[in-house]
């Protein structure tokens, strides 16, 4: 699970500011803590998508302190981010992955698009082309 810590602080105009220690450029706000966290979740996906689009390394989450605010990325987004990381670590370009899994570049673009609802079997095929596999673990909710 990718859980990124969020720093929340009250602003001078009675709004709550939210920022990410792992992404110094990412800041948002809300009328209250819940709204700030909801906006932070959307912002986090946008910032990570921008990193991926700019071919930058996506930093792993820093340590999260229990009961501290955080954003947990959806499982599908996590799978896409981890696929992106594996491709970068292996030196595999999108065109190489497309060739390996027998698809068009557009399909690989969608596999890496955090806002696209890719099918899990397609992501599994992409990982298999990198000699990796997805392992799912179920835990009790906190």
Distances 135 to 110, 126, 127 between C-alpha atoms, Å: 22, 14, 11
Same structural domain, 8 and 20: yes
| Residue 134 counted as domain residue | no
Domain presence at residue 141: no
Instruction: Identify the CATH number of the domain in which residue 113 sits.
Output: 1.10.260
Domain end position, chosen among 23, 41, 72 = 72
CATH number of the domain bearing residue 23: 3.30.160.250
Q: pTM, whole model, 2 decimals?
A: 0.91
DSSP string for 3-71 = EEE-EEEE-TTS-EEEEETTEEEEEEEESSHHHHHHHHHHHHHHHHHHHHHTTPPPPPPPPPPTTS-EE
Contacts 24+ apart (CB under 8 A), 6-12: 6/37, 6/40, 6/68, 6/69, 6/70, 6/71, 7/69, 8/33, 8/36, 8/37, 8/69
- Domain range for 65 is 3-72
Specify the pLDDT at position 142. 63
pLDDT tens-digit profile, the chain (142 residues) = 899 999 999 998 999 999 999 999 999 999 999 999 999 999 999 999 999 999 999 999 999 888 899 999 999 999 999 999 999 999 999 999 999 999 999 999 999 999 999 999 999 999 999 999 999 989 888 6
> Is the same domain home to 13 and 64?
yes
Q: How many distinct structural domains can be found in the chain?
A: 2
């Amino acid at each position: 699970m990718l859980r990124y810590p969020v720093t929340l602080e009250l602003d001078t105009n009675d709004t709550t500011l939210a920022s990410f220690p792992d992404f110094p450029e990412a800041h948002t706000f809300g009328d209250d803590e819940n709204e700030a966290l909801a906006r932070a979740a959307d912002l986090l996906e946008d910032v990570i998508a921008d990193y991926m689009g700019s071919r930058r390394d996506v930093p792993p989450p820093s340590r999260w302190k229990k009961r501290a605010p955080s954003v947990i990325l959806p499982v599908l987004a996590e799978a896409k981010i981890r696929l992106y990381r594996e491709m970068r670590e292996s030196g595999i370009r999108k065109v190489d992955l497309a060739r390996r899994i027998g698809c068009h570049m557009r399909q690989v673009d969608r596999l890496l698009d955090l806002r696209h609802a890719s099918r899990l079997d397609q992501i599994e095929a992409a990982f298999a082309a990198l000699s990796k596999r997805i392992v799912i673990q179920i835990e009790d909710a906190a």
